[in-house]
């Protein structure tokens, strides 16, 4: 591939990324009822051929200069992702549209499958929660799992077609990650936090639901984590103003950011969960929210605002690979920095006038520990799934076993494919958690617990955001003097919040 051809490829790749994110924005914001990523892929047929994958890989291995090699590594990973996406585009659309159109019937009420989790989270009655959960699982088994099985078997076949022993080996090489080593680090985290987790989770179940951890069911979890008892603090009307005031404390005027488009319109088909669509980094970023209130709504919006500000402050002088591609653990870490403001007592008091927040901070910290343990178990499961040969139904029991052991709640087998993201994205969340834990310690140690109102802290974050995803999580942490990426900062935060 000659340099002019490579530059043309990069230009077309950036156009594709923008078009794909625009399609996701239109669909999940409720503006467009049908998701049509197939049409997007069809406009860029030259990008994701097997020949492009092979050629970019060969060019990467021939390149010696560090920056050029890093850019090619990111571009090669993007091309592999795109090759997988192009080969499965019809299935991906069918899955998204099936999920969007499927409904369940509970007690004579028709509920959209995508909205059912919200309904379940707001349901105070345990018996009705169980009925909603049962209907969700049945719909997943009937409508989604057959499509998901086809999708993942096709992805596994494609990895073999590219010459790799399995999907895990393919992604380990193109992402430059040793998933086995990461899995070992997280299995140590699971062992080290098991006693603490069991104690605090049992206490939370008793306080919030009047039952023990042993009695807690998978159907209860959406309601437990929804925590409607805190709704008088985390109001729907206060959601966007809280974000505006938080950003203002960092000298960011959300309403003056011409490159950020805040979408708060109510639409029937709009996703109930906030999301960010970085269509053109840094010039066209969408932050989409459907305010409904509750502490989970605030955490979700802050998380997506972290992504939004990262992309909006990325230097436009960076090449495409560093603005749109790279290590997603980096942008997820910035998102976690923002959503963890809800466990910061100073932030709660200053922006929400929530001064007696001990119970909430403890609750939110247990919630964080639950999800870190859950993702650690997902990584272990996915390393099994993506080396598995033959019928995938055989790993459903492994999924249930691993997640049930980590969360200490029986997790149904039916979610064994619906709970899997492409390209080992769970590893990005886990590494993001480690990076965020270290960066949060730096912010608090250097600028205090109210760092979110400190000019120097805001300037430091803006500098980090300006790098886009030039650096991997490991290199970004080293660049800031933070040492090795590991779970020690996370343990520190959890022990500080929850005790040993």
Residues 220 and 72 in one domain: no
pLDDT tens digits, one per residue of 220-262: 999 999 999 999 999 999 999 999 999 999 999 999 999 999 9
Beta bridge mates, 111: 104
CATH code at position 198: 1.10.1370.30
Residues 70 and 129 in one domain: yes
Model confidence at 3, pLDDT cuts 50, 70, 90, reads: very low
Residue 482's pLDDT is 85
Residues 144 and 272 in one domain: no
How many domains would you assign to the chain? 2
User: Does 4 have pLDDT greater than 60?
Assistant: no
The domain boundary, picked from 134, 154, 175, lies at: 175
**Structural domain boundaries, residue 459:** 179-498
- DSSP string of 381-414, one letter each residue: HHHHHTT--S-GGGGHHHHHHHHHHHHTSPPPGG
Residues 123 and 75 in one domain: yes
Residues 473 and 347 in one domain: yes
**Cβ(305)–Cβ(341) below 8 Å:** no
The domain boundary, picked from 175, 210, 233, lies at: 175
Residues 111 and 236 in one domain: no
Residue 404's pLDDT is 98
pLDDT tens digits, one per residue of 332-343: 999 999 999 999
User: Does 218 have pLDDT greater than 90?
Assistant: yes
* Range from 381-395, 402-416, 424-438 carrying the lowest mean pLDDT: 381-395
- Measured from the Cβ of residue 457, the count of other Cβ atoms closer than 10 Å reads 20
- pLDDT (average), residues 203-215: 97
- DSSP string of 133-190, one letter each residue: HHHHHHHIIIIIHHHHHHHHHHHHHHHHHTT-SSHHHHHHHHHT--HHHHHHHHHHHH
Residues 125 and 210 in one domain: no
- pLDDT (average), residues 398-422: 97
Closest CA relative to residue 139, chosen from 158, 120, 160, 123? 120
The domain boundary, picked from 175, 206, 222, lies at: 175
pLDDT tens digits, one per residue of 273-307: 899 999 999 999 999 998 888 999 999 999 999 99
pLDDT tens digits, one per residue of 5-14: 999 999 999 9
- Measured from the Cβ of residue 300, the count of other Cβ atoms closer than 10 Å reads 19
Residues 300 and 354 in one domain: yes
Residues 351 and 210 in one domain: yes
Closest CA relative to residue 385, chosen from 91, 163, 167? 167
- pLDDT (average), residues 350-378: 97
Residue 268's pLDDT is 85
Residues 171 and 183 in one domain: no
Pairing of strands 260-263, 284-288: parallel
Residues 76 and 184 in one domain: no
Closest CA relative to residue 125, chosen from 105, 139, 106, 138? 106
Residues 245 and 292 in one domain: yes
- Measured from the Cβ of residue 50, the count of other Cβ atoms closer than 10 Å reads 12
The model carries a pTM of 0.93
């Amino acid at each position: 591939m000659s340099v002019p051809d490579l530059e043309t490829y990069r230009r077309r790749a950036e156009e594709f990324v923008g078009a794909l994110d625009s399609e996701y924005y239109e669909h999940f914001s409720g503006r467009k009822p049908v998701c049509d990523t197939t049409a997007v892929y069809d406009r860029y047929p030259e990008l994701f051929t097997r020949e492009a994958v092979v050629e970019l890989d060969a060019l990467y291995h021939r390149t010696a200069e560090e920056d050029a090699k890093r850019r090619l590594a990111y571009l090669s990973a993007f091309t592999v992702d795109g090759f997988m996406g192009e080969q499965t585009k019809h299935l991906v659309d069918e899955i998204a549209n099936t999920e969007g159109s499927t409904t369940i019937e509970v007690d004579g009420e028709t509920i959209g499958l995508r909205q059912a989790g919200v309904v379940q989270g707001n349901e105070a009655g345990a018996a009705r929660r169980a009925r909603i959960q049962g209907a969700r699982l049945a719909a997943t088994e009937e409508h989604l799992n057959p499509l998901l099985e086809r999708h993942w078997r096709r992805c596994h076949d494609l990895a073999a077609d590219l010459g790799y022993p399995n999907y895990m080996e393919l992604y380990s090489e193109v992402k430059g990650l040793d998933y086995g080593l990461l899995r070992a680090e997280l299995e140590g985290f699971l062992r080290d936090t098991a006693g603490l987790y069991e104690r605090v989770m049992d206490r939370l179940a008793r306080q919030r639901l009047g039952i023990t951890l042993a009695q807690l069911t998978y159907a209860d979890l959406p309601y437990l984590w929804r925590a409607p008892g805190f709704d008088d603090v985390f109001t729907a009307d206060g959601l966007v103003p809280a974000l505006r005031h938080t950003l203002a404390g960092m000298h960011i005027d959300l309403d003056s950011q011409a490159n950020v488009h805040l979408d708060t319109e109510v639409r029937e088909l709009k996703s109930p969960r906030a999301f960010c669509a970085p269509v053109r980094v840094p010039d066209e970023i969408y932050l989409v929210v459907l305010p409904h209130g509750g502490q989970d709504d605030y955490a979700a919006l802050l998380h997506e605002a972290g992504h939004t500000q990262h992309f909006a402050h990325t230097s436009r002088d960076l090449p495409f690979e560093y603005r749109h591609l790279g290590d997603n653990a980096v942008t997820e870490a910035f998102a976690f920095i923002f959503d963890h403001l809800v466990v910061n007592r100073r932030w709660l008091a200053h922006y929400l006038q929530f001064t007696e927040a001990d119970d909430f901070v403890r609750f939110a910290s247990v919630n964080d520990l639950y999800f870190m343990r859950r993702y650690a178990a997902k990584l272990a499961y996915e390393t099994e799934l993506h080396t598995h040969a033959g019928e995938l139904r055989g790993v459903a029991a492994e999924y249930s076993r691993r997640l049930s052991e980590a969360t200490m709640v029986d997790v149904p087998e039916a979610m064994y494919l619906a709970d899997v993201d492409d390209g080992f994205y769970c590893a990005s969340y886990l590494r993001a958690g480690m990076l965020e834990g270290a960066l949060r310690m730096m912010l608090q140690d250097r600028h205090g617990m109210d760092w979110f109102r400190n000019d120097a802290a805001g300037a430091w974050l803006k500098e980090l955001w300006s790098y886009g995803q030039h650096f991997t999580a490991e290199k970004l942490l080293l660049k800031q003097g933070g040492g090795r990426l590991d779970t020690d900062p996370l343990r520190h935060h959890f022990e500080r919040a929850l005790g040993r």
